Structure 1
Amino acid sequence: MRACGRKTGWRRMLDSGDSQPEKVRVLANSLEKLRTHGGLTADRLRADRTGVSSPLLSLAATRRYANVHELDLPDAAVALVCDCVRDDLYDSQRIVADAVLGLGVLGQPLTDAGIEAHVTRALYELALGRRRETLLSHWHPLHAALSVAPIPAPSDRYLRGTTELAVLRELAYQLARRDIYSVGAKNVVRTDTGPASDNSARGRVVVVGGAVMDATFRTKQLPAPETSTEALGFSLSPGGKGLMQAVASARLGLHTSLVAAVATDRFGDAIVDYLEREHVDTSLLKRVPNADTPFTGVFQQQLGDSIAVNWRNEKQIRLESRDVFDRREELAGSDVLLVTFEVPRDTLEDTVALAHDRSDDRPIVIVTPGQPYTDDEVSADTLAQIDYLVAHAWELEPFARHSAFDPDSVARTLLAFGVKTLCLLVTGGCNAYSRPMRDVLRVAAPPAIYKESSVARDAFCAALAAQLIDNESKFSEDVARWATAAMSCAASDFPRRNSLPTRRRINDLLEASQL
């Protein structure tokens, strides 16, 4: 379900009735009772003597969250619900769930967006009636502050009897889904592999690429020319291959910095805030004043297929070679350098060259060729400096030159130019071509419900970096399998707002796929 209208957006949970799994029904009933009085708080869960909170406290995901963070179950349960509201609900759903449960998840974003303090205080009052009153009386300003297109404001009666129930059932569904997929808490990794702010992290990764805002429309099908169709949902969130690879690396416990050009407008500030929440170092960003943040329009279908339209605003937002040169010490000191074609071609070539300044102890260079350059080809010298090229088949067409396009033939051409390893991502896995050219290493991905997601390749690149660091730069079938499993995790968890996996999530999937 993705909320988009009062009579349509809530329908999946409202109409499912007895077909809902028992766990979802029990969790939804618990949440409905916990919305009353002061809402969902750890103190209330501790004081519960009626068993109302037991479905939430007994979730395996809650127990994992508690173990990872060394929390007691009530604190872990509240934190897990907050994560779920923040990351797995959409648009009006998040706003309604946050208010009726009194969580305060959106308190700071609303304040930062200019909502007056007395309004945010009232939105999280102890009395449920006061929270509802504030929600309804400020329905449109709250949505506007979060850049969410609002559905029509419901009446008080409809909010109580229909909207809230639908939202809480969707929240219960997402909590149960986390249990099924052994995720625990989405933004959490194990304490021995978690994000670190010092040199104790597993490895040092620098990403050079793009950071944009994604405007994502979720739809059943794309409209035919000169027609329109209704979207199932809409979200506005930070994106870009560089940004997502940085977040994916940080999720895997790597000390990660992003080198990208970011505007100083409100969308640029939102990008920086998001990176910092995800434990990505933002000190190497280039902030560009008086510029507009680039946008990508994404049309995402139900099984993960998507198409995108990029507006890079290259005249204003542009990472130049001198910007990377100014950060050369950080690049040279990294274990892995991830670079995307989102930066100008000259910048990419100079960045890759900088990584080779220290021939004795240089970083591993992983390059993502999306979108392929239209103005010119990457030089042969640059290709010879790439350790891993991670590509989709269609992105290799510019390298076919004037011959008929055949991925295997192009792969051999790239290896002849000096690329050490080509990881060709295909439906259901990865084909790895390495020098010296022998047999192709074909690694099948654990099965996923969804065909792909826009961040699947980003998860692969980050996981490849993590495994190469863990295995002293040695590429093997096990390394490829782990990276491919990370890609499968991102695809499997596609409906979430951000499906980039943790190490535990990847290991769980590999273990389950071998049973």
Structure 2
Amino acid sequence: MNTSDPVAGLDRRERGNIVVVGSANMDLVVHAARLPTSGETLLGGGFETCPGGKGANQAIAAARLGASVAMVGCVGDDAFGATLLNGLASDRIDTAHMQRLKAVPSGIAMITVAADGANTIVVAPGANVRLTPELVDAAADLIANAGMLVCQLEVPVDAVRRAVDVAVRHGTAVLLNPAPAQPLPDDLYAQVDFLIVNETEAQALTGIAVSDIAAAREAADALRRKGARTVIVTLGAGGVWYSGPEGESHMTAPRVDAVDTTGAGDTFAGGFAAARVRGAGLSDAIAFAQRAAALSVMKKGAQSSIPMRAEVDAHLPAA
């Protein structure tokens, strides 16, 4: 972790360059009037396949929201894999370090979306679990010369740790979205410049039920004590609580009519990263990310809903 502001000011690197180490999945989406209860068979409505995966979603969000982006990860040598790579390339994301593995299925996510926009997601990681520290090492120069490294936990933690180690050695800022949440060693927290968690992830990592702003503050403080430099707790329609060296505050969320919340958190993470590497201060970067996420929930799909930077600037005022 850097001891000074990890992205502000002049630097030898070209700012705007983001490397995402993470997952790419094909989302299999069923729409229903509501989410099923345990053991219930529920008749749904429309079905669609949509490119997704937290890594790919965040990469595409960062690219559409103003950054130059490269991605490191794995897909299968199947039709889903080809579609996923083509989707990344169509957003001008560098896929030179996306491995296409033979005889391995691409990752998939089974998603149910209710009429009110709520969703449930179950992921079969497929090729994503084949991302190794050695494959990350092959992209070390890319990470070393980036403005920010962005990681999640849908790929093996060993690969994430290797990427973070490379970033820290070379002064590259580290953003970690620990999703799906799992126990993490304190030495990894101590390498993270920006830790972005939602209520569920914050509770899983701290044991604190994040039901309001006070609880979000308590969880953020606990995560900072573990070593994370700046913690951002996203609260959906309840806004964002952040805490770090630049201060702490609650920021309200833009009011919109949600259609599908799938990918909103990824849009937030990618938008925040894109804003930070172009020099935005912490609160301005959060506000930009909130506006991007608000626009995304007004459309269906994880990636198809991610807005372009011009849309964010034009359609929603600052939070």
**Alignment TM class, shorter chain as reference:** 0.7 to 0.9
Q: Aligned match of 1:337 in 143, 149, 174?
A: 149
Partner of 1:264: 77
The runs of at least 4 consecutive aligned structure 1 residues that moved more than 6 Å come to none
Partner of 1:218: 31
Greater C-alpha radius of gyration: 1
Q: Given the superposition, is the C-alpha separation of residues 431 and 225 from structure 1 closer, same or farther in structure 2, using an over 3 Å criterion?
A: closer
Aligned: 1:398 with 2:184? no
Partner of 1:367: 176
Q: Given the superposition, is the C-alpha separation of residues 449 and 506 from structure 1 closer, same or farther in structure 2, using an over 3 Å criterion?
A: same
CA distance in 1, matches of 2:302, 2:129: 29
SS in 2 for 1:448: coil
Q: Given the superposition, is the C-alpha separation of residues 508 and 329 from structure 1 closer, same or farther in structure 2, using an over 3 Å criterion?
A: same
Trace 1:93-112 onto structure 2 (pairs within 5 A).
Answer: none
Q: Aligned match of 2:250 in 427, 442, 451?
A: 442
- Counterpart residue type for residue 254 of structure 2: P
Q: Given the superposition, is the C-alpha separation of residues 491 and 441 from structure 1 closer, same or farther in structure 2, using an over 3 Å criterion?
A: same
Q: Aligned match of 1:236 in 24, 40, 49?
A: 49
Q: Quick check: which one's helix share is greater?
A: 1
Q: Quick check: which one's strand share is greater?
A: 2
Provide structure 2 residue ranges, at least 5 long, that are not aligned to the other structure: 1-13
SS in 1 for 2:243: strand
Q: Given the superposition, is the C-alpha separation of residues 264 and 357 from structure 1 closer, same or farther in structure 2, using an over 3 Å criterion?
A: same
Q: Aligned match of 2:243 in 428, 433, 441?
A: 433
Partner of 2:94: 281
CA distance in 2, matches of 1:304, 1:209: 25
SS in 2 for 1:282: strand
Partner of 1:90: none
CA distance in 2, matches of 1:421, 1:262: 32
Aligned: 1:491 with 2:297? yes
- Counterpart residue type for residue 213 of structure 1: M
Provide structure 1 residue ranges, at least 5 long, that are not aligned to the other structure: 1-200
Partner of 1:455: 263
C-alpha contact 2:240 2:253 (8 A) present in aligned 1: yes
Aligned: 1:357 with 2:169? yes
Percent identity among equivalent residues? 25
Deviations 1:187-230 (A, max 9, x none): xxxxxxxxxxxxxx972111011011110001111344554333
CA distance in 2, matches of 1:267, 1:261: 12
SS in 2 for 1:261: strand
CA distance in 1, matches of 2:174, 2:260: 25
Relative contact order, higher structure (CA 8 A, sep 6+): 2
Q: Given the superposition, is the C-alpha separation of residues 508 and 433 from structure 1 closer, same or farther in structure 2, using an over 3 Å criterion?
A: same
Partner of 1:248: 61
C-alpha contact 2:268 2:289 (8 A) present in aligned 1: yes
Q: Given the superposition, is the C-alpha separation of residues 404 and 250 from structure 1 closer, same or farther in structure 2, using an over 3 Å criterion?
A: closer
Q: Given the superposition, is the C-alpha separation of residues 329 and 496 from structure 1 closer, same or farther in structure 2, using an over 3 Å criterion?
A: closer
CA distance in 2, matches of 1:330, 1:454: 29
Q: Given the superposition, is the C-alpha separation of residues 417 and 296 from structure 1 closer, same or farther in structure 2, using an over 3 Å criterion?
A: same
TM-score of the superposed pair, with normalisation by structure 2 = 0.87
Partner of 1:96: none
Trace 1:73-472 onto structure 2 (pairs within 5 A).
Answer: 203-224=16-37, 227-313=40-126, 317-358=129-170, 362-373=171-182, 377-400=183-206, 406-428=215-237, 429-435=239-245, 440-450=248-258, 453-471=261-279
CA distance in 2, matches of 1:298, 1:495: 10
- Counterpart residue type for residue 477 of structure 1: S
**Offset at residue 317 of structure 1 (A):** 4.1
- Counterpart residue type for residue 488 of structure 1: A
What is the RMSD computed on CA atoms of the aligned residues?
2.3
**Offset at residue 467 of structure 1 (A):** 1.4
CA distance in 1, matches of 2:231, 2:34: 33
TM-score of the superposed pair, with normalisation by structure 1 = 0.55
